[in-house]
Amino acid sequence: MSNTITAPGVQAPGERHRLYEDALAMLLGTLFIALGMMLYTKTMLLTGSIAGVSLLLSYMTRLEFGTLFFLINLPFYALAWKRLGWRFTLRTFVAVGLVTLFSRLTESWITLSHLDPVYATIVGGGLCGTGLLMLFRHRTGLGGINILALYLQERHGIRAGWFQLAVDLWILAAAFFVLAPDRLLLSVVGAAIVNLILAINHKPGRYLGIS
């Protein structure tokens, strides 16, 4: 019999997620992200990574965010398969598909007569950060820049963090010509909220579940 004692409410090291736990995390995580993106779209806000590129292009072309998000992610799946394995790639493909679907459906589920941009920044960023945290803890991502950054670091020695920062700065620079200054400033605040949620809660050893 093992002598290891686990505190109440703390998951034992190496405990594997059940299938329904992975499915529930993916469902709720993608719903949260889709709702956060809807709040951002309604108030002309922006975020980083592929979601930010998709939002920016949607503002410039009036195409749907969900469709752009799905299409832009397609080239990155080959890298994900090679770098992170087929399980992660499959989960990521499903998660991106669900965000695409829910982004469309949310428009018909919710009608807003007024949405304060500051509220949208805080709540939208909180929803996206929480949704991403749920996906990350169940070995699921949303593709795109993260995968490319890991690949470039491994193959060419380019630091992943610096590469992702450069991409986000490029997105914000491009947004300077599309968004009003106040929306650009709020977008920076929203991105900070997302990253703070992940930085505080997604640390090695803090959560030990396995998918």
User: What does 85-146 look like in DSSP terms, one character per residue?
Assistant: -HHHHHHHHHHHHHHHHHHHHHHHH---S---HHHHHHHHHHHHHHHHHHHHTTT----THH
Q: Is residue 211 part of a domain?
A: no
Whether residue 81 is contained in a domain is answered as yes
The answer as to whether 4 is a domain residue is no
pTM comes to 0.81
Is residue 207 in a domain? Answer: no
Q: Provide mean pLDDT across the span 197-203.
A: 77
Cα gap 118→211, rounded to integer Å: 36
| Ramachandran angles phi, psi of 210, nearest 5° | -125, 135
Question: Domain for residue 42, yes or no?
Answer: yes
Contact 103, 66 (CB under 8 A): yes
Q: Residue 206 falls within a domain, yes or no?
A: no
Any domain includes 57: yes
Taking only the tens place, the pLDDT of each residue in 23-34 is 999 999 999 999
Mean of all residue pLDDT scores within the chain: 83
209 in a structural domain:
no
Provide the residue range defining the domain that includes 110.
19-201
Lowest mean pLDDT among 44-48, 55-59, 118-122, 140-144: 140-144
In terms of residues, how long is the chain?
211
pLDDT tens for each residue of 140-196: 878 777 777 767 766 777 775 577 778 878 888 888 888 999 999 999 899 889 888
Q: How many domains does the chain have?
A: 1
